[in-house]
Amino acid sequence: MSKNVLVVDDDPNVVEIITESLKNKGYETDSAYDGIAAMERYDSFKPDLVVLDVALPFRDGFRVCDEIRARDVNNDVPVIMISGNSIPDRMLMGFNSGAQDFIRKPFSVKEVLAKIDNLLAQADGKKNLREQKEFLEDEIQKGQADYKRINREIKKKVLDLKTLFSLSQDLNRLRDPEELIHVFFLTVIGQLGVGTISLFCVENEGDPYLSCAGGKGLRTGILQTVRLQRETGIAKLLMKKHDVMELGRARVWGEAEREATFLHNLGFRYCYPLVMNSVLTGIVLIGGKISRQPYTRNDFEMFKSICTSAATGLENSRLYAELQSTYLSTIKVLVSTIEAKDAYTRGHTDRVARYARLIAEEMGMSKEERDTVSFGAALHDIGKLGVYENILNKPGELTEIEWEVVRSHPEVGANIIKNMKFLESACDLVRHHHERLDGKGYPDGLKGDEISIGARIVAVADSFDAMTSNRPYRMAHDYSDAISQLRRQGEKFDLDVVENLVKLIERGEIQE
């Protein structure tokens, strides 16, 4: 591509000689004869090089050179200054103004052309290098932006995975469906910034509909009356698609349309099915984001994963509840067997189990711990199955040997249930319900903290009921009498447990 050279000199002869020579060598040229015209030509001709006389009318060459530099910030356009004056100061001024070279008049055209060729080649090289540098800088910046974006995405994914992992752990740990649903809602709200969420579940196996199991961000009162059909409606569509469905835009009709419109009017925007073993167990409904931003694909992926964890958690808690009711009926059978033998203790196990459960609740124990205490208390005297009825029902004082037999019942009881997996945790309570804090109890003579809190609760509940019931050898004490006896026996009983029992009595939850 030919280069443009602007020649500026107030002497038309000089201009002509130089431009003619340049044209011969294939350059495009333009010319000016004063400082003002020089800049006008510069702006319109956009030269690649300027040959510039120092002594010009209106504006001298130094000022013109200054202006060129002000416009050409990258220093791409070389300027060769021509002067009739060879004083070194002038040359210095020229270089200071940004000129690349200096020619003294009179000059040889050959010299001028050689300098022009040379400077243009240099300028080309410099420009190339600069462009490459800019290109590389651009690439690096893009790379950095990419790197930052990828890094952000990776971080987010790791965070998502961590959240999902801890969530699925939480959901597997939680046995109480209410607590589980609560954690599920909070997770979806926290992760997606959802304003409204609700879960519809199949409450009873045979129900033909799903009903509201809870919600956040909406008056759940309205939802309590809503029923979603299990076989038709959006449930059927969700089972077919098994994906997030938009309520407002779904192309649906019939029952599904009715349900979708109704839910959309309530403020829900999307729904997703909870499925376990190819059976629909629930439908999750969510509204828009609090930020009013649309959901991203990542949001929906996260949402689906959380829902899957919740579905598994809910199924586990259902199985757990089922198992627990089987346990309970087994325990009831076992308890009725003890009571059939021991006429005096009829109702004792039931009452001890109730007191122990209430105390555990009062002490703020978790659901699982409360269950263990209930089971343990219900079975605490199961070992009496191994004690002869005549000893158990003997009205008078027991002999030393008879006492030995009676005292073996915690150990016998623990042995009876130790092989039942679901009663494993209750085993300790059965074995240690006759231990004393001072270590003088039986069968192991455990002391203080060695005795589990569950066993201490059963011990208090057991003794309290024994004191307040008629026995073959004495009449029942009244409650206040029994309480003061317990309070005086800090060497035997955990007084904190005793005080919690007192609170229950004072509130009337345990009555004479």
SS3 state at 420: coil
Q: Phi first, then psi: give them for residue 441, nearest 5 degrees.
A: -90, -170
Burial of 350 (0-12, 13-18, 19+ CB in 10 A): middle
Shortest reach from residue 498's CB to Fe ion, in Å: 17
What the block records as the tokens of 54 is: 């120092």
Q: Please identify, using beta-carbon distances, which residue of 68 and 377 lies nearer to Fe ion.
A: 377
CA distances from 219 to 171, 184, 196 (A): 25, 18, 10
Residue 224 or 336: the one with the smaller Cβ distance to Fe ion is: 336
Closest CB 389 distance from Fe ion, rounded Å: 16
Q: Which stretch binds Fe ion (CB under 5 A): 198-206, 363-371, 454-462, 476-484?
A: 454-462
Number of helices and strands in the chain (H, E): 19, 11
Name the residue nearer to Fe ion (CB basis): 141 or 336.
336
Site map 341..380 versus Fe ion, x via CB under 5 A = ----------------------------------------
Residue in the structure block whose two tokens are 């009663």 = 423
Tokens of 473: 């050898």
CB proximity list for 88: less than 8 A, separation 6 or greater? none
Size, binding site for Fe ion by CB under 5 A: 2
Selected range binding Fe ion among 8-16, 268-276, 399-407, 456-464, rule: CB under 5 A: 456-464
The distance of closest approach from Cβ of residue 363 to Fe ion in the complex, given in angstroms and rounded to an integer, is: 20
The distance of closest approach from Cβ of residue 430 to Fe ion in the complex, given in angstroms and rounded to an integer, is 9
251: Cβ–Cβ under 8 A, 6 or more apart, which residues? none
Contact mark string toward Fe ion, 412..431, x via CB under 5 A: --------------------
Pick the stretch among 271-279, 381-389, 416-424, 445-453 that binds Fe ion (CB under 5 A): 381-389
Least CB distance to Fe ion at residue 406 (A): 9
- DSSP H helices in 174-253: 177-192, 220-224, 233-241
Residue 472 tokens, joined: 């073959």
**Smallest distance from the beta carbon of 481 to Fe ion, in angstroms?**
19
Q: Which is nearer to Fe ion, 299 or 462 (CB)?
A: 462
To Fe ion, the closest distance from the beta carbon of 224 in angstroms equals 44
CB of 490 to Fe ion, least distance (A): 20
Nearer residue to Fe ion within complex by CB, 302 or 392: 392
Closer to Fe ion by Cβ: residue 15 or 353: 353
Nearest approach, Cβ of residue 348 and Fe ion (Å): 6
Whichever of 67 and 381 has its CB closer to Fe ion, that residue is 381
Report the candidate in 346, 327, 336, 280 with the shortest Cα–Cα distance to residue 307: 280
Q: Segment near Fe ion (CB under 5 A), from 144-152, 315-323, 455-463, 484-492?
A: 455-463
Q: Which of 48, 53, 299, 381 binds Fe ion (CB under 5 A)?
A: 381
Q: Which of 105, 119, 97, 108 is nearest to 53 (CA)?
A: 105
Binding-residue pattern over the window 71 to 100 for Fe ion, x denoting contact by CB under 5 A: ------------------------------
Two tokens, residue 249: 């835009």
Nearer of residues 33 and 355 to Fe ion, judged by Cβ: 355
Touching Fe ion, residues 457-486 (CB under 5 A): 462
Pairing relation of β-strands 270-276 and 209-216?
unpaired
Q: Which of 279, 298, 34 has the alpha carbon at shortest distance from 155? A: 298
d(CA 105, CA 229): 102
Nearest distance in Å: CB 458, Fe ion: 8
Select 67 or 465, whichever has its Cβ closest to Fe ion: 465
The answer to whether 112 and 80 have CB atoms below 8 angstroms apart is yes
How far apart, in Å, are the Cα atoms of 94 and each of 52, 70, 74, 108, 118? 10, 15, 18, 20, 19
> Of 255 and 350, which CB lies nearer to Fe ion in the complex structure?
350
Give 245 or 414: the residue with its C-beta nearer to Fe ion. 414
Question: Could you give the strand order of the β-sheet that contains 49-53, starting from the edge strand earlier in sequence?
Answer: 28-32, 4-8, 49-53, 79-83, 101-104
The contact mask relative to Fe ion for 223-242 (x = CB under 5 A, - = no) is --------------------
* Shortest distance (Å) from residue 464 CB to Fe ion: 10
Interface residue list for Fe ion (CB under 5 A): 381, 462
